């Protein structure tokens, strides 16, 4: 991680940095990098030829900004899972495709099916408690981020997040709902998810709300 942070600092020219990686663990680390460096970042993963070409196309526009890259990951995750299936809500097809095409290829030891079922149940309760409409973007990012989060916590490698206290104090309803509904997940995997990881999960919901 320190190597990534140093590289971001070296290549930044004042407008932010786009990180393209075939490591799916990187998808939500842009927030962590921003905390450490103050440099706005966007992480794009998984990598495909189309996604890389799209990044290049945006980057070549003189008026482009870092915000122009934010929807690329969600867009191409949808492409990889076949939008023609008409994914609505928590369809079994969606979960199967996401688990098999994204998570199972990148998680080291986690039982993908067990994690997907547990996290989907937690997310459904969070949607209901926060009175939020279903969002493909939230669902993809939540399942993706939390699966890798479980592995990190099992390995005692939880991320350090400097804004944890600020996130908790300013977004108590979201944080408490996430904490409450991820408790059964923690129990299933025999772990305790620390507040800094829960705060990073909260950002998934805050990011989407900021664009509404």
Domain boundary among 40, 73, 106: 73
Domain co-membership, 63 together with 158: no
- Rounded to whole angstroms, the Cα distance separating 51 from 89 reads 25
Q: pLDDT for 39-61, tens place per residue? A: 888 777 655 656 666 777 777 77
Domain co-membership, 57 together with 86: no
pLDDT of residue 89: 42
Measured torsion, CA atoms of residues 155, 161, 162, 168, in degrees rounded to the nearest 10: -120
Domain co-membership, 134 together with 37: no
This prediction's pTM: 0.59
Q: pLDDT for 181-195, tens place per residue? A: 999 999 999 999 999
pLDDT of residue 171: 92
Nearest CA-CA partner of 75 in 52, 56, 92: 52
Q: Are 39 and 17 in contact (CB under 8 A)?
A: yes
CA dihedral sign, ordered 125, 207, 42, 53: positive
Boundaries of domain holding 41: 2-73
| Better-predicted residue by pLDDT, 177 or 35 | 177
Q: Are 135 and 118 in contact (CB under 8 A)?
A: no
């Amino acid at each position: 991680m320190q190597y990534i942070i140093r590289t971001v600092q070296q290549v930044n020219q004042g407008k932010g940095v786009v990180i393209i990686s075939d490591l799916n663990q990187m998808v939500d680390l842009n927030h962590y990098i921003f905390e450490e460096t103050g440099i706005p970042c966007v992480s794009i993963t998984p990598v495909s030829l189309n996604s890389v070409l799209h990044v290049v196309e945006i980057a070549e526009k003189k008026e482009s900004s870092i915000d122009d890259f934010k929807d690329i990951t969600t867009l191409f995750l949808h492409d990889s899972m076949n939008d023609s299936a008409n994914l609505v809500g928590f369809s079994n097809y969606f979960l199967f495709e996401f688990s098999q095409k994204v998570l199972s290829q990148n998680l080291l030891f986690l039982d993908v099916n067990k994690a997907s079922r547990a996290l989907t149940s937690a997310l459904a309760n969070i949607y209901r408690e926060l009175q939020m409409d279903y969002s493909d973007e939230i669902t993809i990012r939540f399942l993706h981020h939390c699966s890798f989060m479980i592995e990190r916590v099992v390995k005692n490698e939880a991320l350090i997040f400097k804004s944890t206290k600020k996130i908790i104090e300013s977004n108590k309803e979201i944080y408490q709902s996430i904490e409450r509904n991820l408790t059964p997940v923690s129990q299933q995997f025999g772990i305790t998810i620390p507040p800094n990881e829960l705060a990073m999960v909260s950002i998934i919901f805050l990011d989407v709300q900021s664009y509404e």
